Structure 1
Amino acid sequence: MEKLMDIKLNNSTILVTGGAGFIGSNLCEELLKQDCKVVCLDNFSTGKIENILHLFDNKNFKLIVGDIRKIEDCQKVTKGVDYVLHEAALGSVPRSIADPITSNDVNVSGFLNMLVAAREANVKRFIYAASSSTYGDSKSLPKVEDVIGKPLSPYAITKYVNELYADVFSRTYGMECIGLRYFNVFGRRQDPNGAYAAVIPLFVKKLIDHESPVINGDGEYSRDFTYIKNVVQMNLLALSVSDKSALNTVYNTAYGERTTLNQLVGYLKEYLSQYDSQIANIEVIYGDNRSGDIPHSLASIEKAESLLGYHPQYSMKQGLKEAVQWYWENLK
């Protein structure tokens, strides 16, 4: 990845919360390539040690096991840190519907703990994972940052509250905060197992195992699937932008293209059948629509293009081909 930064990040110390998770581990890896010192905080509730084992030999990498729900853990990890990439959260709309209290504890109370600790430690900038779920029942497409609807799940509420807290902390305490509204991120290390697995790794695993993927609804719901390398690029841009007008706001973090679930399964079968021809003939099962799901999601990325200089390097199909190859090599 090119070094496109205004602010030089090399030799900076950057804390990645949730650094053993899917997105967090990819960020840790790239920051080390950018000659940063990386502190990874994780409690391994959803993160996995194998996601970061290959980083342990790097003298600039440090793992701290801790929980953002404990203010003392947040204070410990922010000491001496220049920047924070806050990725730690309990994802999944269905998980939040099943257990709203834990989602709120982690995503709201934990977020507030991190903001307070970062302010106390005089961290230069606080970048956090926001979510496209914040758009809620807004029917307008594409999604533009300043037009949102009512949240449709406890998870969506928690991510919107994060944005409100970040805005108040920037106004009240002069903190530099940037929220990145992630749109259906996918890629290597995204876990295909468990009750709350994301749709792409879940479908890939089903197809590799010669099982039928189950689509909720008729398959015409659409998403702006966003490859992990574009998300890493956005985080680097948010860390390094020096223009004050680009700070203390939120950005859609996406590719800017819609793909239906039916199209997605078609691409997955096409790409996976290059490794196993039988996959092309696997049938899809259709089930009921899922509570809390947004029918259609498509991001406008104009704001990020204008203020951050964001130009996504990977289309959905390019990313999917890379992801499929990674899963084939790692799930077999």
Structure 2
Amino acid sequence: MAMAGKKALVTGGAGFIGSHLCGVLIDRGWNVSVVDDLSSSDGSNIEGLGDRVSLHVGDIRDLDLMKGLLEDSDALFNLAAMVSVPKSVQKPRECYEVNVTAFSDMLELLKDRPVPVVYASSAAIYGEGADDGPRRETELPMPQSPYGASKAMDELVAAAAFRCWGIPSVGLRFFNVYGPRQNPEGPYASVIPRFTTALLDGRAVTVFGDGEQTRDFVHVEDVARVMVKAADEAQSIGGSVMNVGSGRRASVNEVYSLLSRLVSEKESPSFEPERPGDIRHSFADLSELRSLMDLSSFRSLEDGIDDTVSYYRRRCGL
């Protein structure tokens, strides 16, 4: 689709992935409206993007707000969500309201003007899987948490909207996204920002489980480019879902080792019991994604972690 002068609505656009997406959209000639409740960001992530980004502070469950914003949008990127697995275990109803009901309402608002929709699904829908091999889109979802279940439901809701109303949606099953601007604070923080800031501050690092659990880490800038490409191709691939990862597995202990070398830290982490809802192994089969775009420019884990450490050094004034 032609980009110049088009308007995108990005829910969760002031957050980690959303702010990077906004930057790519601006570079491609889009105007961007962001709706965000600022629960995970103060808005500073998008302050430097200029006057082609407008921020609307609010809740995606507010139907009047969403109706007004969607009326003149040429594409919807839905990133707003409760993203924490442990929090979803504690507050499942809120998880389903934010992640499923609000998304379903957005799609209903678009039923008479079916613009491209790109939405964040998650590798969490797979659960543990029958083996520790790469996860494929054709596998039966077996989520182990309300968060994973909510993302599986989003895919069904989007598929129904495509069949009923012709809304060309693309669901992206994000694996472990990392990079600059990711929130390192709180009990639900992700491994890479949490480890990085702890090591830079000289604090002890805690690993949940034995550290041999594996994940597929993908850099946020690569994820943002995938989202825009999916919107470009939504008319031809509408109703589809695809994995977004690096296709490489890395253990939590390996990540700690990479980080500790970069910050010259020799202390070993402490280990605590694994958390409810966490899975043991997860990495992506990228066959579908490769059919969409060239992945040769994706960052390696080593390069991406180096970039991430440099960001947090600057942020911490080191």
SS at match of 1:119: coil
Maintained 8 Å contact 1:82/1:123: no
Give 1:310 shift. 4.5
What does residue 154 of structure 1 align with?
146
How far did 1:309 drift? 4.5
Name the CA distance, whole Å, in 2 between partners of 1:154 and 1:331. Answer: 34
Give the superposition deviation at 1:311: 4.3
1:92 to 84, 87, 91: 84
Question: For residues 287-320 of structure 1, what are the alpha-carbon distances to aligned partners after superposition, in whole Å with 9 as ceiling and x for unaligned?
Answer: 1111111100010111111144444521121111
Task: Compare 284-293 and 257-266 and name the one that shifted more.
Answer: 284-293
Equivalent residue, structure 1, for 2:118: 127
Deviations 1:19-69 (CA, angstroms, capped at 9, x unpaired): 1110001111111111111111111122321112222xx232111122111
CA distance in 1, matches of 2:225, 2:280: 27
The answer on whether the counterparts of 2:117 and 2:234 sit within 8 Å (CA) in structure 1 is no
Structure 1 runs not aligned, ≥5 long: 1-6, 274-279
Alpha-carbon distance in 1 for matches of 2:296, 2:307: 19
Which of 148, 169, 181 is equivalent to 1:189? 181
Match of 2:37 in 1: 43
> Partner residue of 1:268?
259
Of 46, 63, 76, 2:68 maps to 76
Contact conserved, 1:84 with 1:123, CA < 8 A, in 2?
no
Cα distance, 1:234 vs. partner?
Answer: 0.7
Q: Does 1:302 align with 2:296?
A: no
* Structure 1 stretches of 4+ moved >6 Å: none
Which residue is equivalent to 1:209?
A: 201
Inter-partner Cα distance in structure 2 for 1:45 and 1:153:
21
- Could you say what the CA RMSD is over the residues aligned between the two structures, in angstroms? 1.4
Amino acid at match of 1:68: I
Equivalent position SS for 2:271: strand
- What is residue 220 of structure 2 aligned with on the other side? 228
> TM-score, normalising length from structure 1?
0.92
Question: Measured at CA, do residues 203 and 233 of structure 1 come closer, stay the same or move farther in structure 2, by a change above 3 Å?
Answer: same
Partner of 2:12: 18
1:248 is aligned to: 239
Aligned counterparts of 1:52 and 1:242: Cα–Cα separation in 2: 26
Which of 24, 34, 42 is residue 28 of structure 2 equivalent to?
A: 34
1:14 match: secondary structure: strand
Distance 1:84 1:242, change over 3 A: closer
Q: TM-score w.r.t. structure 2 length? A: 0.95
Match of 1:4 in 2: none
1:101 aligned residue (84, 93, 117): 93
The gaps in structure 2 that reach 5 residues or longer are none
Question: When the two structures are aligned, how many residues end up with a matched partner?
Answer: 316
In structure 2, distance between residues paired with 1:168 and 1:27: 26
Report 1:171-190 matches (<5 A).
Answer: 171-190=163-182
